Structure 1
């Protein structure tokens, strides 16, 4: 079965912080709005994270991220929760180390069970102050 985007109208996304609390300019909605002109920009401090509730369980395969160079998550951990324990992120899906570049980067996950929620943790940043800036975010997999 071919993987497709798991982000749809039923997907709920939360982020750890928004720069200057300016959700209009830098809020979570810009992660998935499809425009290259807008972005999610975190406040300073680490770790930062993105929480994704898919609405229905899915098999996760790939995370696609487009960072702003200079504000890249250097060490990223993808954690999942199962439908029977949605608040317990006890499934490690991947640890990856993005390059400090602007083009989209893709990262494979090891996932052999349905995942209800994803927590993408940015443990380190290329920014001295720990800020993360993402222009595009997607999760691919199967339902």
Structure 2
């Protein structure tokens, strides 16, 4: 199991707090610093989409997230898009339920049904924050390139 966030992966997010991308942009999800973060703007739902560069896609095994307590997603969902599908639609993979804490949390994904994945969407339909904001200090997606 290794980090799949290497090479030319692409990321997009639903929003950035007050459009301050330098301070709160998506790049802060992957810089491995606990001093920087992605902070969404208010409102729901919020999301993160990762597109993997591997031609045959990847096999997912887990998602690791470090939230800021008080700004944590509730009743979250992982959606995927497969290289085997002509559809441009994401399909449901699993739900996960983060705790409202500041430590890294690992959420396993069933790797048997999550092979040949070209994109993953992490959906935050609600937040522990009254205004619907999400704050994430670190994000990593673990798995293997599909052969």
Q: What range is the shorter-chain TM-score in?
A: over 0.9
Q: CA RMSD in A?
A: 1.0
Cα distance between partner residues in 2 of 1:87 and 1:43? 26
Cα distance between partner residues in 1 of 2:26 and 2:86? 24
Deviation string, structure 1 residues 96-124 (Cα, Å, up to 9, x no partner): 11000000000011232210000000011
Q: 5+ residue gaps in structure 1?
A: none
Q: Could you tell me how far 1:130 is from its partner in structure 2?
A: 0.2
**Equivalent residue, structure 2, for 1:110:** 110
Tell me the TM-score normalised to structure 2 length.
0.92
**Equivalent residue, structure 1, for 2:86:** 85
Q: 5+ residue gaps in structure 2?
A: none
Task: Give matches, 1:19-58, under 5 Å.
Answer: 19-56=17-54, 57-58=57-58
Does structure 2 conserve the Cα–Cα contact (< 8 Å) formed by 1:46 and 1:124?
Answer: yes
Inter-CA distance 66–15: structure 2 relative to 1 (3 Å threshold): same
Paired residue secondary structure (2:27): helix
Cα distance between partner residues in 2 of 1:115 and 1:142? 10
Cα distance between partner residues in 1 of 2:128 and 2:144? 32
Inter-CA distance 86–13: structure 2 relative to 1 (3 Å threshold): farther
Tell me the TM-score normalised to structure 1 length.
0.94
Deviation beyond 4 Å, 4+ runs, structure 1: none
Match of 2:5 among 7, 17, 27: 7
